[in-house]
Structure 1
């Protein structure tokens, strides 16, 4: 993966650089079996804001960027060297949220009718955070006009569908080679949310396994032990139990195990300036060490699950 200079400012990409929906960094060349069952995903770290979005936006570029899981793709950049394939979104979360159902849409955002199959009555839509978000994290309205369903459909077909098609293929390759697949879906959470995750003090990491439904307990148990040994405070499923990706791909009975990892942004990011802090390098090194441990672990019990 091309490393991001953590000291360099991140800017909105020009529309003509929109390009593919994701970047893929394989641990082995395509056509060869992946060396481990590990697949890492970073669905919310994209920094491309196409012109069709920005021309309709009411917010400036910096305000919109506050919804990103900034630099998470770079935090996991060392994973392929240890046998884990990485897929990272290029388009911004505010443009299309890949951790939502594709047609989880708010009808109040659109000038025309949505199709009947659109899921408009979910808690995430009510909060303004459907597949196409209405607000950024501070509750600011993103758009100055209503969108059209054609615009939503273009984002779904151009970004959401190809990303998930690629992710499903990666998991199938891992399962075909090893008898099971392990998906780690990487995210970051605002420091304010992390303060509510711990019982008596802020939490550093939240592991989400849909309360045990998305993976065998062996997986979050091992991750939790490794992180705590590194000095991190770890919580499970509160306030984040896992989103669409964890729920959709986590099928332990079919030997597909999915775990969401939320990182407290206060560990590595100045949330006011969206610049990495001095903690960035240490956190990245710990994530790489965790990856190496997971790659070398004996997961044979998952093959029989």
Structure 2
């Protein structure tokens, strides 16, 4: 299994999909607990949700599951949210704080997984961002995520539907954040927040360098917006998804148009 799948386009916008993959090598899968083997913390159906919303867009999708190694964590293992509950480079617990492993991987194995899976994903993502920046003079990474709307181990209460992360405005020019936030705030029947519990993962923070015409923004969607249920079998709800996709399409097209104007190249 290749670590990453790329669909190449020429838009200045690149979609990152680090958590929608479900591949777990058999020797790793056998060491997961029965709970871990449900792969419950997948960003379920996010690839399907965004498919076809923007013409000529590049997508970079991790094929491997986040329990193999998390493509949206600092490769050093440093925490994204010091002092708060979170999961690591290879998570030892799920989002409810429950153990995932019958036999936990040691540091050497984690490093081997990083080299085999995490590194190729980011090499591909960086290459695609640089390629479209070469075309337009600017690149925007839109990092696609979803999570259950209620996860008491990670946050209190119910998560807003749209969770926009720019690491407190550091990863993109203010106008990109403002445009996305405005579309989400105007989406009837949906709630939204900017830099709430989810401020952007390592991917957003790593690639977001506005001073170099490289912008990044994370969108964490509550799974209640597009799933029939937020527990196994995590079924896709076509009617819910189509209502949501209207707004996602507006976001992607607006950001792509804005990026083209920021780049100043034809």
Equivalent residue, structure 2, for 1:275? 235
Stretch deviating more after TM superposition (225-234 or 178-187):
225-234
User: Residues 216 and 122 from structure 1, CA distance in 2 versus in 1: closer, same or farther, beyond 3 angstroms?
Assistant: closer
What stretches of structure 1 of length at least 5 have no aligned partner? 1-18, 28-33, 105-118
Q: TM-score of the superposition, structure 1-length normalised?
A: 0.77
Stretch deviating more after TM superposition (278-287 or 152-161):
278-287
CA–CA distance in 2 between the matches of 1:168 and 1:265?
28
Stretch deviating more after TM superposition (95-104 or 220-229):
220-229
User: Residues 302 and 70 from structure 1, CA distance in 2 versus in 1: closer, same or farther, beyond 3 angstroms?
Assistant: same
For residues 9-28 of structure 1, the aligned pairs below 5 Å read: 19-27=1-9
Contact 2:183 2:247 in 1 (8 A): no
For residues 117-136 of structure 1, the aligned pairs below 5 Å read: 119=78, 123=81, 127=85, 129-136=87-94
User: Residues 214 and 197 from structure 1, CA distance in 2 versus in 1: closer, same or farther, beyond 3 angstroms?
Assistant: farther
Contact 2:137 2:213 in 1 (8 A): yes
CA–CA distance in 1 between the matches of 2:259 and 2:140?
13
Contact 1:44 1:89 in 2 (8 A): yes
User: Residues 298 and 142 from structure 1, CA distance in 2 versus in 1: closer, same or farther, beyond 3 angstroms?
Assistant: closer
Q: Which has the larger radius of gyration?
A: 1
Contact 1:22 1:88 in 2 (8 A): yes
Equivalent residue, structure 2, for 1:30? none
Equivalent residue, structure 2, for 1:243? 201
CA–CA distance in 1 between the matches of 2:63 and 2:144?
15
Stretch deviating more after TM superposition (266-275 or 285-294):
285-294
Q: TM-score of the superposition, structure 2-length normalised?
A: 0.88
Contact 1:39 1:170 in 2 (8 A): yes
User: Residues 42 and 221 from structure 1, CA distance in 2 versus in 1: closer, same or farther, beyond 3 angstroms?
Assistant: same
User: Residues 127 and 193 from structure 1, CA distance in 2 versus in 1: closer, same or farther, beyond 3 angstroms?
Assistant: closer
Partner SS, residue 253 of structure 1: helix
CA–CA distance in 2 between the matches of 1:171 and 1:298?
13
Equivalent residue, structure 1, for 2:255? 294
Size of the alignment, in residue pairs?
260
Partner SS, residue 161 of structure 1: helix
Deviations 1:150-179 (A, max 9, x none): 322221111100000000001101111111
Report the Cα offset of residue 226 of structure 1: 2.2
Contact 1:69 1:187 in 2 (8 A): yes
Partner SS, residue 66 of structure 1: coil
Which structure would you say has the larger RCO, counting Cα contacts within 8 Å and 6 or more residues apart? 2
1:91 to 64, 70, 85: 64
User: Residues 23 and 247 from structure 1, CA distance in 2 versus in 1: closer, same or farther, beyond 3 angstroms?
Assistant: same
